[in-house]
Structure 1
Amino acid sequence: MGIEEITGRVARDLEHLKQFTATPGDGCTRLPFTKEARDAVNFLTETMKEAGLTVHEDAAGNVIGVLEGEDTQAPCVMMGSHYDSVINGGDFDGIAGVVCGIEVARQLKENGIKPKRNFVVVGFCDEEGMRFGTGYFGSGAMLGNRDVEYCKHYKDTDGISIYDAMKGYGLDPEKIQDAKWPEGSIGQFLEAHIEQGPVLDAENIELGLVDCIVGIQRYMVTVHGRADHAGTTPMDMRLDAVDAATKVISKIADWAREKADGTVATTGYINTVPGGMNIVAEKVEFTVDIRSSKNENINDIANRIRAALDREVKAMGGSYEIDTKLVITPVALSEEMLQIMEDDCKERGYSYKRMPSGAGHDALEIGQVIPTVMLFVPSKEGRSHCPVEFTKYSDFAKATVIMTGLAEKLLTR
């Protein structure tokens, strides 16, 4: 199979998927448990079937295609990524990895490979966490890390819980545990993904072999004060939630810079209540996202935030609470699989480099317990999570060739 034909098939599938967005002409908005998600799953289902896979949707909304091997009970080789997006995101983040997985299945069949165990392609539901402020819903459910209480706890900005959203989507949240795969049933996990950063594009390198994915902790912090008149309330008599919250927020980025090893911390959302220009705020909500390849760095910043909140809120006279949205530790990826891909890149003359991932992926969740590897393709100018996100289809094609080689070795030994 020539690289041109592979490129054409990847391009055809991704071009078709572009239409499933709630914001036509302004990037991809495909939030979980929406019409756009359902349309994408329906298309992926038909595409998987056309590729010769047996397809079903699980209790978490993951779409799963199986290319059966000789021993269907043996630990499978799984490949996939997510089909959801952020708001006004790009057309390749996540979904390209699902398309690449389907393409690998095609190439395995065309190459006449007789797998000894199943090759499984997955389109995961809600990796981004954009709607409910969480993340890795489908991949977490596959590992048994999501339950009914989880689904009831997390809600979107309209107050709709994951539980209710699932029911409206046609799933039964009471059966979420049915999405769990038995321990030992997944042998290896593979994920192709756009880099979402500028390194490969700037250095004109074709493929990135990911050797580590950073850990992530996410929090929603709520600081409670008291609403008062902005003109008539003296400064020393205020319970100003904004004053207390911003004294903490202003330090967070510097605490990350102190680490000087790629650790990052972000406050991406701030909301004041009641939000009037002439009212002292009675409440401030803000998010914190901390990422590092070293878990001790993440924990240190999280602890500093708590200590600073204790200090500033006590001085102000109010109170605060922290809702933990996500805690996931850094993961080192499989050296054995990295070496197989590196050898194949050399043999085919593809340029490559080993590199970490500063973004979280389904591979981060699954890699906590299962041997995992990732392959990056370049993102033009490093742009992602925005409408101008772009990767050449031929780069995806090269990734599928390398991933097919890896899958073949894993499936036939």
Structure 2
Amino acid sequence: MSQASCPPDPRALAERLFGALAEIGCDPPGITRDAYGDGEQRAFETIASTAQSLGGSIERDAAANLYCRFAGASPELPMWVSGSHLDSVPHGGNFDGAAGVIAPLCALAKLAAEGRRPLRDVVVAAFRAEESTWFPLSYPGSRAAFGMLDAEALRLTRADSGRSLADHLRECGGDPERVAAGEAWLEPARLHGFIELHIEQGPLLEHRGAPLGVVSGISGSFRYRRARLLGTHGHSGAVPRELRQDTVFAFAALVGELDALWSDLERRGERATITCGQVHTDPTVDAFSKIPGELGFCLDVRSEREGTLLEIEDALGAMLARIERERGVRAELGERTSSRPARMDPGLRRLLREAAERAGLDPPTLPSGAGHDAATFSHQGVPSAMLFVRNQHGSHNPEEAMALEDFFDASSVLAEVLAQ
């Protein structure tokens, strides 16, 4: 950040940027900033123009990710990167992702106001399309930043438009041919580390009365987005239980067995989550007095441990085989997508904790059940860490909330680490 100019007040900067992004994404009852669409694009332009006004130099890569570089005292040193994403789920909240892009700008403004300059260059990054509700893959923006997004991924279609990732990327100023060729903007050897600030999205910090926490690791996952159970339609009053091929009761049996497995894992101290966020029969075919012969559902399984994911997936196969045999139905799970767990760097976690303790804070350590771009950095061998900020009312919903005092506590901790 330019030392000659008068640095902005970090609080005023945060309030202005959160307000601008809320206006861009306003989509009652919540916020929608569509990945590789108008909402995300306008948010990127807002951050770029603000960073430039603060003295940052602006660069974009072939995937249209944004990098705002602020010069440190020793630019020859490997640089810090700090950032997150600016897209949202449909009708979500304003802080998911955006807090992690605004925070390093506020951290640098704080250092400048105190007459301090980071030792090394700091790049504030905004990555595209982190929310997998838009495209059926994890972290396409940050993966492309490392040259890790192939032509097959670029052919995947956006959930609402049916058009390819390549088409949407091109419309936002990117170059899908260069992405498919593996062109990278980020090189691990040039990076000192990556720190992502993010709202927690869960209730643990709120429950513990802690404004912020240090993340131990990011869960991996396996997902089936378009699974089906196939049975036989029939008259609700004419077919006895033992002759039915009822997909709703078969699904109920599956959910019951998954819940029992989850409970057993918790008793053994294994952390995981199992979610069926969509369950449906076809209202144009099924009726009040009709046995449902087809049921669609999705399955999202997450854990910090690869072994736990493998155990659940093995158990899932055995459950489905048993239910098929006992209930007379057939299971089709469809396409499987997955992501690997990511461990956060112990050294960076220590730096964050020490900075928090110097500020009179006692941050708990907690896992991230949600996926984040920090996982991409970790998988590329870049020392990576995350700070969680307490938020109220959960996330991915219009009631998502975050106290600015908590945000400033966390961004101040971030500033102390980025200064090093």
TM above 0.5: yes
Please state how far the C-alpha of 1:191 moved relative to its aligned partner. Answer: 0.9
Q: C-alpha separation between the residues in 2 aligned to 1:138 and 1:122? A: 11
Of 225-234 and 180-189, more deviation after overlay is shown by 225-234
- 5+ unaligned residues in a row in structure 2: which ranges? 1-7
Determine if the alignment matches structure 1 residue 251 to structure 2 residue 265: no
Alpha-carbon spacing, 1:246–1:202, altered in 2? closer, same or farther (3 Å): closer
Structure 1 contact 223–285 (Cα < 8 Å) conserved: yes
- Contact kept? 2:25, 2:33, Cα under 8 Å: yes
Residue in structure 1 matched with residue 370 of structure 2 by the alignment: 359
The residue aligned with 2:213 is 208
Residue number in structure 2 paired with 1:9: 13
User: Are 1:328 and 1:365, in contact at CA under 8 Å, matched by a contact in 2?
Assistant: no
* Displacement after TM superposition at 1:197 (Å): 2.1
1:226 offset after TM fit, Å?
6.2
CA contact (8 A) 1:210 1:357 kept: yes
Residue 390 of structure 1, aligned match among 378, 397, 401: 401
From 377, 388, 395, give the equivalent of 1:376: 388
The corresponding residue for 2:60 is 57
Which string of whole-angstrom CA distances, capped at 9 and with x for unpartnered residues, describes residues 294-332 of structure 1? 221111111221232334346636452431222222x33
What is the aligned-residue identity percentage?
26
**Within 1, Cα distance between the matches of 2:58 and 2:94?**
24
Q: Paired residue for 1:348?
A: 359
* Distance in 2 between residues matched to 1:161 and 1:250, nearest whole Å: 37
1:306 aligns with 2:313: no
Aligned pair partner of 1:93 in 81, 96, 119: 96
Quote the offset at 1:192 in angstroms: 1.0
User: Equivalents in 2 of 1:189, 1:155: separation in Å?
Assistant: 28
Aligned-pair distance for 1:30? 1.3
Cα displacement (A) at 1:79:
0.1
**Cα contact 2:44–2:66 (8 A) shared by 1:** yes
Q: Would you say how many aligned residue pairs link Structure 1 and Structure 2?
A: 404
CA deviations 1:138-173 (Å, max 9, x no partner) are: 122223332121121354155333233324444332
1:327 is aligned to 2:339: yes
- Measure the CA separation in 1 of the matches of 2:188 and 2:144: 13
Once the 2 structures are TM-superposed, how far is the Cα of residue 385 of structure 1 from its aligned partner?
1.7
| Aligned partner letter, 1:63 | L
Q: Which segments of 5 or more consecutive residues in structure 1 lack a partner in the other structure?
A: none
Contact in 2 for aligned 1:126/1:136 (Cα 8 Å): yes
SS of residue paired to 1:253? helix
The answer to whether the aligner puts 1:270 opposite 2:279 as a matched pair is yes
Q: Residues 84 and 101 of structure 2 are in contact (CA less than 8 Å); yes or no, is this contact kept in structure 1?
A: yes
Deviation at 1:287, TM superposition (A): 1.5
Residue deviations 1:54-102 (CA, integer Å, cap 9, x gap): 1133222322111134665643210001101112211111101100022
Q: Per the alignment, in what secondary structure is the counterpart of residue 31 of structure 2?
A: coil
Amino acid aligned to 2:205? L
Shift of residue 214, structure 1, vs aligned partner: 2.4
Q: Does the 8 Å contact 1:267/1:286 carry over to 2?
A: yes
Please state how far the C-alpha of 1:378 moved relative to its aligned partner: 1.4
The answer for the alignment partner of 2:3 in structure 1 is none
Find the residue that maps to 2:23 and give its secondary structure.
coil
Q: Does 1:39 align with 2:42?
A: yes
**Preserved contact between residue 309 and residue 320 of structure 1 (Cα < 8 Å):** no
Q: Which moved more, 1:137-146 or 1:394-403?
A: 137-146
RMSD: 2.9
Do the aligned residues in 2 keep the contact of 1:219 with 1:326 (CA within 8 Å)? no
Structure 1's 227 and 169: CA in aligned 2 closer, same or farther, altered over 3 A?
Answer: farther
Whether the aligned pair in 2 keeps the contact of 1:223 and 1:245 (CA below 8 Å) is: no
Q: Residue 236 of structure 2 contacts residue 291 of structure 2 at CA under 8 Å; is this kept in 1?
A: no
